[in-house]
A = this chain, B = another copy of it.
């Protein structure tokens, strides 16, 4: 048996999205509707009813973990997702290139995203390798998309109990990261964070990339701010629990990182971007090919959430239509449906009017030979409220695995 697990990020919507319909309800989705007809649908609370999910916590929960037990912060998944290896005891951060200017009071933040810098980040990251930190602390830094990156600190006794030095608003002086516990390790970690950020400014302020940016009237990427401190939680690997091997196909680093932390391998689909311009046919084809070797694939698409955050209802609806036509359409054509179970859902609701995550449950669809079909003939939020699967919280992937007879028995 094979498994295909698909999360469309921020899939859920509200009636206010498009004149009484959610984007998903308004979208033309003949393939998802056909899968709903062949399978069964229901409502899933990504974490728990009324809990407004982050992307990381929602994914942990949908993949079968209790985020209240295992969540330590986002930085660790960002590091893993962009290819920084992480060991127990390391402390990881989300990083962003930002623009500051020197003032008598300190470094004042002018742009949190350095003008959403689009090129030269690799050269800036390369320059940062010359930084040396005190106290025996080692680091690894990588740039990812635009202004984003991630930092791993490694050293004795470091902890994630430190505050961030990203003030999240412009016009203020960059604060020092502070220890959040009395542990001497928290003081050492805060000192390393502050030292890295201070030295990043020294290294970047006159870097050729930034001299060019300034000459072109663009804000220089002259500092690295750090947030989301996290260490590696113990996540019992999927391969150990279920005895199956799978891979993640995701354009955005965070989701790759969560999947890697759960023990999946990473496969990069050509043209997958983590945005609305992603190549969805390529993702489907990459998944189908991967299933020749592996038991399951987890495909993540991000554009739905991006368009929700952008408050672009038409764009979100169109991207859902592309998911239906390109991703689902290709999979429907190429999968061997006699021996495959597929699940399709979102990790939370991102309504257009609010432009951020909300806690409503999201529709979920299971299809394959072992699914007890229901009477529903369309896929959407309100259809899912009438679906035969009812409503429950989290564990979407373990439920898919159960249809494939991969679930371990609890008790005897």
Contacts and interface: CB of A to CB of B under 8 A. Distances in A.
A91 to B, nearest CB: 16
A408 interface: yes
Interface stretch (A135-143, A215-223, A276-284, A387-395): A387-395
A127 interface: no
Nearest to A43: B390
A29 interface: no
A130 B357 CA distance: 58
A67 B371 CA distance: 27
B407 A372 contact: no
Contact of A387 (B47, B371, B385, B395): B385
Interface stretch (A53-61, A102-110, A231-239, A303-311): A53-61
Contacts of A228: 412
Given A390-B42, A402-B360, A14 B410 contact: no
A69 to B, nearest CB: 12
A385 B389 contact: yes
A399 interface: yes
Interface residues of A, number: 65
B370 A402 contact: no
Interface in A358-402: 358-361, 369-375, 381-382, 385-395, 398-399, 401-402
A339 to B, nearest CB: 12
Taking each of A16, A356, A386, which has the highest tally of chain B beta carbons within 10 Å of its own beta carbon? A386
A393 B390 CA distance: 12
B402 A22 contact: no
Taking each of A54, A353, A375, A390, which has the highest tally of chain B beta carbons within 10 Å of its own beta carbon? A390
Given A370-B14, A388-B382, A53 B359 contact: no
A53 B393 contact: no
Contacts of A407: 50-52, 358-359
9 contacts: A49-B398, A50-B398, A52-B402, A54-B412, A57-B411, A74-B411, A360-B372, A360-B402, A385-B387
